[in-house]
Amino acid sequence: MDSTPVNWEALDRLILDFAKSENLIDDSASTSIISSPSSSPPSFSSSYQSRFIIRQIRRFLESGDIDSSLHLLRSHAPFILDDHRLLFRLQKQKFMELLRRGTGEARDSAIECTRTALAPCALDAYPEAYEEFKHVLLAFIYDKDDQNSPVANEWSERRRFEIAGLMSSVLRAHLQAYDPVFSMTLRYLISIHKGFCIRQGISSPISDLTERLLLEERDPPAVPQESFYEAPPFDEVDIQALAHAVELTRQGAIDSLRFAKGDLFQAFQNELCRMKVDVSMLDELVREYCVYRGIVDSGLALPSVPGLKTLTEPLKVGQSEPGYCSSRNYSFEVDNTNSKHSDGETSVSNAHMNGSPEDSVDVNSIQGTDVELRYACESTNYSEDCSTSGSHQAGISKVLQRNRNYTTGERSKRKRWRGRQDDEDYKQDVNATSTDLSREQQGLEKHPSADIKSRDDKYEIVLGMKELAGRGMAAEVVEEVTALDPNFFLQNHILLFQLKQVEFLKLVSSGDHSSALRVASSHLGPIASRDPSLLKPLKETLLALLWPNEDALGKGLPLHALSTSLQFAIGRKLGVEEPQLMKLMRATLHTHNEWFKLQMCKDRFDSLLRIDSLKDVNTPLISACSMSKSNADSCTHGSSQVTISSSTRVSEDGSSATQESSRDVCDENAILKVMEFLALPRADAIHLLAQYNGNAETVIQQIFA
């Protein structure tokens, strides 16, 4: 199955909103590599509080504690108890839970419950309520273990989950406590992905994720009040859009619209939130993505500094670590003042120490200060190999050394992952929910001490390169990557071409045209001569010489896309696994495109769920990925630069050019009529109409003939 380019920056924003809405991250203070993260409690939004109350009520109902759920409802949502239909169901469940205890005292309480609460409520709940009341009284004489009794369903513990799901649906709608947008978007995309794969008879490459993440079971729908049954008829377009978007029957879509008082988008959100997801697995997928993208700190280890074991061990001057420089001629400098360098880093010049192996200093005593180790063997000559564990490890160490101050500053801006510490309902064993999330995690489980420092180093290198590219520091990126792996750009020549494009455009913007032309002749030209598909973007890049200086950067530098492509390519080189969530988003967005091509219409809910922003990929000049099939793999993975060619571009209403002829012969009302009468998907209705010149009556007659 093909993949679709994704705007990863738009996904970053969705993910960050999700993490904040669910209080999964500590947003009260930035983390620091030396000082411990803030332990102050997070501030809870009203939406989160409402969702938390709903989860508490749900938990009480699922455990059979009806009194506790009634107490919470009286405190936070008393209007729910004014609906006697819901109150009757709660009281009926309370009656069954009292009998379930099996004691004489509980039986007496059950009798009292029928007299004071259940019977009075049954009189005006709904027409069938009194018959249900008389039926449930049979539980007095039939044992709960009798599977053949007429009240076996009433005894079933499944009733708890049904009423818990119903109350959740009603409370969510009344309190406007919808799940974060990303959670709803993911449910919608996965449901479309599953339906598309079944309809087309193809296997899903992400079925292991989708099957575990989106559960088959849904909460019961919220039933509209009787006064809404006389609501004016809804637009058939809305009915069909809702029915096919969330897999409802036509009557189910009408009932959902009635409950939402005709608001299509509210009904759509109500139905999406009825879909159940594995919350623990979703949280782990989000955490993995956030670490990869540098949104949260990995929490694995501090950036590796050769010679410094940990921040809790004394440092032995002159002590060497395997794989690092063993020279003893280095200085250890600490500054306890608050003075700053021009680049924002803390000055380190007040304490000097040169000593023997016997000298030591306890780092705990200087916690909170900036620490710097300077090695005589790594002063300026980066070609010198101080490593005893291979040239590749030496290259990584050198890159870390040169970028240490920079990555430390960036890391301090990252947020701390908290997890669902405030919701006991979702505290589960991580090993039970995320054992297969990544091969790297499996490797760490097998080897608890297994290269955690090394893995964290790799993350810092990858993120450091990404940040440099995102700032347009192309020359620095090329230098750092070449130091890391001299053969990298031989295997990723398109990335080198794009970085040199950035360097060229920056020089043009600064007015240094002669230097820009040297870059073009020394790098862009030779690369394009070896790959003819790059000649067109080369010509477009050279047009920047004609622009005003202030326009070159704005028109030609989608730096976020380039930085993501670079991140993936370097990460793959270092063995850093791509997050599972990125694979899932590519596949589901692709099937979303294909599904609405079949439907020959535009998705009415894509703006609500930010799907349009996830697909909003724009590449002015740096469009080389779409030019070379030989490098498609390195570009589509992690890149948002691929553009759709004009020959396959989707039209304004979502249909492709090849489908327009079928669409032209079909009137919208005719499409809806065939969909309604024959209960057909939109695409099937259009194809039938095309066979009969768009005449809906003829189609219906032929089907029933």
Distances (CA, A) of 577 to 46, 131, 455, 698: 37, 60, 11, 56
Residue 698, pLDDT > 50, answer yes
Cβ atoms of residues 507 and 584 within 8 Å: no
In the chain, the amino acid numbered 285 is: L
Label each residue of 173-186 as H, E or C. Answer: HHCCCCCCHHHHHH
Secondary structure class of 5 (helix, strand, coil) = coil
Distances (CA, A) of 435 to 290, 297, 454, 478, 504: 18, 21, 21, 37, 46
How many other CB atoms are found less than 10 A from the CB of residue 670? 21
Instruction: Place 324 in a pLDDT band, splitting at 50, 70 and 90.
Output: very low
Average the pLDDT over 249-275 and give the result. 93
Output the pLDDT for position 664. 52
Residue 70, pLDDT > 70, answer yes
Output the pLDDT for position 406. 54
The tokens for 374 are 């300077």
Instruction: Using alpha carbons only, give the angle 57, 61, 62 rounded to the nearest 5 degrees.
Output: 115
Q: What is the CA radius of gyration of the chain?
A: 31
Distances (CA, A) of 105 to 60, 98, 112, 152: 22, 9, 11, 23
Please tell me which residue, 678 or 439, carries the higher pLDDT value: 678
Task: Provide the mean pLDDT of the chain.
Answer: 74
Output the pLDDT for position 66. 94
Select from 269, 357, 252, 239 the least CA-distant residue to 307: 357
Output the pLDDT for position 369. 34
The tokens for 408 are 């430390």
Burial of 404 (C-beta count, 10 Å sphere; 0-12/13-18/19+): middle
pLDDT in tens, 92-140: 999 999 999 989 999 999 999 999 999 999 988 888 888 999 999 999 9
Output the pLDDT for position 398. 55
Average the pLDDT over 336-353 and give the result. 39
- 437: Cβ contacts below 8 Å, ≥ 6 apart: 281, 284, 285, 288, 580
Question: Residue 416's beta-bridge partner residues?
Answer: 26
Cβ atoms of residues 234 and 215 within 8 Å: no
Residue 331, pLDDT > 60, answer no
Q: Which of 163-167, 391-395, 571-575, 576-580 tops mean pLDDT?
A: 163-167
Output the pLDDT for position 412. 65
The rounded distance, in Å, linking the Cα atoms of 248 and 242 is 7
Average the pLDDT over 170-180 and give the result. 93
Cβ atoms of residues 593 and 4 within 8 Å: yes
Average the pLDDT over 265-285 and give the result. 95
Average the pLDDT over 358-372 and give the result. 37
Select from 298, 636, 285 the least CA-distant residue to 462: 298
Residue 29, pLDDT > 70, answer no
The rounded distance, in Å, linking the Cα atoms of 345 and 338 is 10
Select from 576, 687, 695, 622 the least CA-distant residue to 288: 576
The rounded distance, in Å, linking the Cα atoms of 322 and 167 is 61
CA dihedral sign of residues 433, 439, 440, 442: positive
The tokens for 506 are 């920056």
For 373, phi then psi, to 5°, come to: -110, 130
pLDDT in tens, 493-518: 999 999 998 888 888 888 888 998 99
